[in-house]
């Protein structure tokens, strides 16, 4: 079966939802294709329910937080209930008129010269073909772009190894104030248990006073572009979470005596493919606070790079602070396809810069930029590279 849209967004994480909502609001007939049963990706099923680098961002990220707050599902302006986030994103997509297809995975692409002619998917409905004037790859791992023959990089330059994944869990029986990261680590060290995420911590879940999010696991060696590797990583992450909770309960420390796992999320991936664009943002650009004529967002998050192996420790660039720097539109435009944009962590950047702009507070406005550009390209019949950056930028306003 074939379907046709103005704009198709592959991937329903924070960047993909932002792209689809923005394109839909701009009047483009838009479809969002997501492999799981919910939208939000890392911010919902992945249980990364904390936002970073959002304070200077206008637009959709503020609207999302305001809706969560109105629903009583936001605490401290930056912690949310994961299921409340799912509902907010579903509502935004519906209001924008986006056709949402869950349980559908990208499995291929057709080329027509320098254009992506169609995206192929597999689902309970069988194999399907999706055609569009403009496509947005928001899969996180650049799946559509890779299937479409676009160039990409993976991992650090020295050996290609990628940052570890994590697996977070909701745990019951925890009372505030929660033990600090140093407290939890000291308890586990005392009983001879190695917690792989050495800065593990607890975070509030709004509306659930006896439930906390538990951050405790690094899963090294996961290649998110390989199904066998992903499967092994999910299994290892769940094993680690359960063993860590058992060790804390058995430690004798009363703060953990009633700790129980409520649910563990899906594997939280930090790094996959970085698709080649017309510019590759570098760590040096971030450290220099570089500005660009075609800037679309301003980012401030540190270079937060977690060591690819346990032997190297948790981080080798321990949150290297950076001044505000800009991300140029060219990083979102696929170098090898005239009608393809990237949104989220698969944009064009090096291993070091990626450690900064990969967070939710940056990928949501990047999704807005891609969605606005795709809608313009579709309506005006131009290549996405020819959309002026000033028409789609999500920069903080002066004054």
- Sequence-distant (6+) residues with CB within 8 A of 224 are 140, 141, 162, 165, 230, 269, 271, 272
Using 50 as the pLDDT threshold, list the residues of the chain that sit under it.
399
For 186-222, the pLDDT digits (tens) are 999 999 999 999 888 999 999 999 999 999 999 999 9
Long-range contacts of 121-126 (CB under 8 A, 24+ apart): 121/33, 125/1, 126/1
Fold of 2-155+273-391: FAD/NAD(P)-binding domain (3.50.50)
Question: Distance between CA atoms of 17 and 39, rounded to whole angstroms?
Answer: 7
Residues making up the chain, counted from first to last: 399
Is the C-alpha dihedral spanning 294, 297, 303, 305 positive or negative?
A: negative
Supply the DSSP symbol for 391: G
* pLDDT value of position 54: 97
* pLDDT value of position 23: 99
Question: Distance between CA atoms of 343 and 17, rounded to whole angstroms?
Answer: 10
Long-range contacts of 176-184 (CB under 8 A, 24+ apart): 176/204, 176/209, 178/202, 178/203, 178/204, 178/212, 179/255, 179/256, 183/255, 184/216, 184/248
Asked if residue 114 has a cis previous peptide bond (ω within 30° of 0), the answer is no
Question: Distance between CA atoms of 348 and 281, rounded to whole angstroms?
Answer: 6
* pLDDT value of position 397: 67
Radius of gyration of the chain (CA): 21
* pLDDT value of position 399: 35
Domain ranges in the chain are: 2-155+273-391, 165-264
Q: How many CB atoms lie within 10 A of CB 194?
A: 13
Structure tokens at 125: 């409905």
Supply the DSSP symbol for 13: S
E-only strand ranges, 208-339: 211-219, 260-264, 273-275, 295-299, 303-306, 315-320, 325-328
* pLDDT value of position 199: 82
């Amino acid at each position: 079966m074939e379907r046709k849209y103005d704009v198709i967004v592959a991937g329903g994480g924070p960047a993909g939802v932002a792209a689809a909502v923005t394109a839909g609001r701009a009047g483009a007939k838009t479809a969002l294709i997501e492999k799981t049963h919910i939208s939000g990706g890392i911010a919902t099923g992945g249980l990364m329910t904390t936002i970073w680098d959002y304070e200077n961002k206008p637009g959709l990220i503020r609207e999302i937080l305001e809706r969560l707050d109105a629903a009583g599902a936001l605490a401290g302006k930056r912690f949310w209930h994961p299921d409340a986030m799912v509902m907010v994103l579903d509502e935004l997509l519906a209001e924008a008129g986006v056709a949402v297809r869950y349980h559908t995975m990208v499995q291929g692409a057709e080329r027509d010269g320098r254009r992506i002619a169609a995206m192929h998917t597999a689902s309970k409905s069988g194999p399907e073909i999706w055609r569009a004037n403009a496509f947005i790859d928001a899969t996180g791992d650049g799946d559509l772009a890779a299937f479409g023959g676009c160039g990409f990089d993976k991992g650090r330059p020295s050996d290609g190894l990628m940052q570890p994944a994590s697996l977070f869990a909701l745990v019951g029986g925890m009372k505030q104030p929660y033990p600090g990261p140093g407290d939890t680590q000291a308890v586990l060290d005392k009983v001879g248990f190695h917690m792989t995420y050495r800065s593990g911590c607890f975070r509030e879940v709004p509306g659930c006073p006896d439930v906390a999010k538990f951050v405790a696991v690094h899963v090294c060696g996961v290649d998110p572009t390989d199904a066998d590797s992903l499967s092994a990583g999910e299994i290892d992450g769940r094993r680690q979470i359960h063993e860590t909770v058992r060790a804390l309960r058995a430690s004798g420390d009363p703060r953990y005596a009633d700790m129980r796992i409520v649910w563990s999320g899906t594997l939280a991936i930090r790094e996959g493919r970085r698709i080649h664009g017309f510019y590759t943002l570098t760590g040096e650009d971030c450290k220099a606070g570089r500005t660009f004529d075609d800037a679309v967002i301003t980012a401030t998050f540190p270079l937060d790079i977690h060591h690819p192996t346990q032997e190297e420790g948790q981080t080798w660039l321990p949150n290297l602070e950076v001044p505000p720097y800009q991300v140029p539109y060219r990083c979102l435009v696929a170098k090898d396809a005239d009608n393809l944009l990237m949104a989220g962590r698969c944009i064009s950047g090096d291993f070091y810069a990626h450690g900064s702009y990969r967070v939710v507070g940056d990928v949501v406005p990047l999704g807005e930029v891609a969605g606005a550009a795709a809608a313009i390209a579709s309506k005006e019949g131009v290549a996405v590279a020819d959309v002026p950056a000033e028409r789609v930028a999500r920069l903080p306003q002066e004054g």
